[in-house]
Amino acid sequence: MNNWKQQNLGIVADVKLSNVDKLTIENERVVRLCNYTDVYKNSFINQEKSESFMLASCNENEYEKFILKKGQVAITKDSETPNDIGVSTYISEDFEDVVLGYHLALITPDNDKLNGQFLHYWLNTKQAKRYFENNAGGSGQRCTLVLDCIKSTPLYLPKLSTQAKIAKVLSDLDTKIELNNRINRELEAMAKTLYDYWFVQFDFPNADGKPYKSSGGKMVYNAELKREIPEGWEVKNIGSIILKRTDKTTSIESKNILNEGLYPVITQDNGDFISGFTNKNNPITDLPLIVFGDHSCTLRYIDFPFLRGADGTQIMYFEADLTIYVYLFLQKIITQIPGYGKYERHYKYLKEFNIVIPNAKYLREFQKIVEPIFNKISKSRFQNQHLTALRDWLLPMLMNGQVTVKEAEERLSMAAEPSVEYKKEEKLYENKIRK
């Protein structure tokens, strides 16, 4: 860092505080809004991510100021806790209809002095986070970053070409993580499609390999469900088929959560469910099982030993051939739980839902097809945990000059590449679904 220049952010970038609210006003331009949670949860924003953004409107002046463009960085500027301010995301594409929303700041780097991706990663260093926490204003329970505070953010900048190289090393890791997430979404969507085809439409393959219901398979009316189901199939409530349940597991102190360890630690509010690893205590070993967040309504299928550090999480054990089937059923009905999304205990409602129990033969056949899909999902999630740990280790080392770009690239080359076998597996599963 000896030859890196110290600069305040406001010298090398333009900073604007957004005032675009979540309203749709007649005669204003209709846009998609990049909101607080969109910035908070994403390392970068691209077209795919923006498809889920909410619709709102803005006037022409707001549009000109806050339309998102490639190379910009957005940060959170208000929060209830200091560690939630200054959280950044990188804008990786140009947009024509996405603007930045309220409680956020939009930073446009001077392209001759500052690389936007480098800035994004700099803002993720402990040094930057400490600056925001120490300089946040506000009153009561609200923390905020004023414009002058953001502009005064200290940066240490190497030459522009070095900024770009450092940013590429770190963004390559984020790209790998995002690719794994996309693959996992596609794999689970395949499993859901098969579930719907077999157990909602009841067109599982009959003895002749033809779709059961569409080929005239015998159906009988079930009064509890108020619909027809295949002859010989049963209807039970979730509570009656649970073999064992617990919502009390080992609490893990944060100091014992590691980048590497013997057992994963999961929490109900973690998007990828693995928050880290530990070497402490004994894992839950009965597999597979379903984890349900009683307050968050988060649902997870688990097929590995783990330790957990979050309260209010139900751990449900079912017969092996039923577990993935029940998980996919719960995914479909979870939003029907009374009070869904509110902070209350939902298990008491969930366990009363009625579920069709298929013939054991079809459950086994279904399990045989979908189990490899979920094994692949788990493998990708563990790989993401390791890639995230590598990125988080490299970030400060690159930013303080302890590791060169060349050394970082060597470490990156040793990280697991996204599997080239994925396309083959995807084709295999698609063919099975079609059959």
Q: Do domains 5-157 and 234-357 have the same CATH topology?
A: yes
Please give the model's pTM, rounded to 2 decimal places.
0.83
128's tokens:
């930057």
CATH of 5-157, one of 3.40.50.1700, 3.20.20.30, 3.90.220.20, 3.30.1360.120: 3.90.220.20
Task: Provide mean pLDDT across the span 66-87.
Answer: 93
Give the model's pLDDT for residue 427.
55
**Residue 416: which pLDDT band, with cuts at 50, 70 and 90?**
very low
Rounded CA-CA distance 324/326 in Å is 5
Task: Provide mean pLDDT across the span 105-118.
Answer: 97
User: Residue 295 in 3-state DSSP?
Assistant: coil
Which long-range contacts link 403-406 to residues 24+ away (Cβ below 8 Å)?
405/162, 405/165, 405/166, 405/169
Give the model's pLDDT for residue 421.
45
**Residue 344: which pLDDT band, with cuts at 50, 70 and 90?**
low
For the domain bounded by 234-357, which CATH number is listed?
A: 3.90.220.20
Q: What are the C-alpha distances in Å from 78 to residues 8, 56, 141, 155, 372?
A: 21, 20, 11, 21, 43
pLDDT score of 222 more than 60: yes
Q: What are the C-alpha distances in Å from 282 to residues 23, 252, 255, 305, 334?
A: 51, 11, 17, 9, 31
Rounded CA-CA distance 257/280 in Å is 9
**Residue with the two structure tokens 């064992």:** 244
Give the model's pLDDT for residue 184.
93
User: Residue 182 in 3-state DSSP?
Assistant: helix
More confident: 158 or 295: 158
pLDDT score of 424 more than 70: no
Q: Which sequence spans correspond to the domains of the chain?
A: 5-157, 170-180+368-428, 234-357
More confident: 282 or 379: 379
Region of 39 (left: φ > 0; alpha: ψ -120 to 50; beta: rest) is alpha
By CB atoms closer than 10 A (0-12, 13-18, 19+), residue 431 is exposed
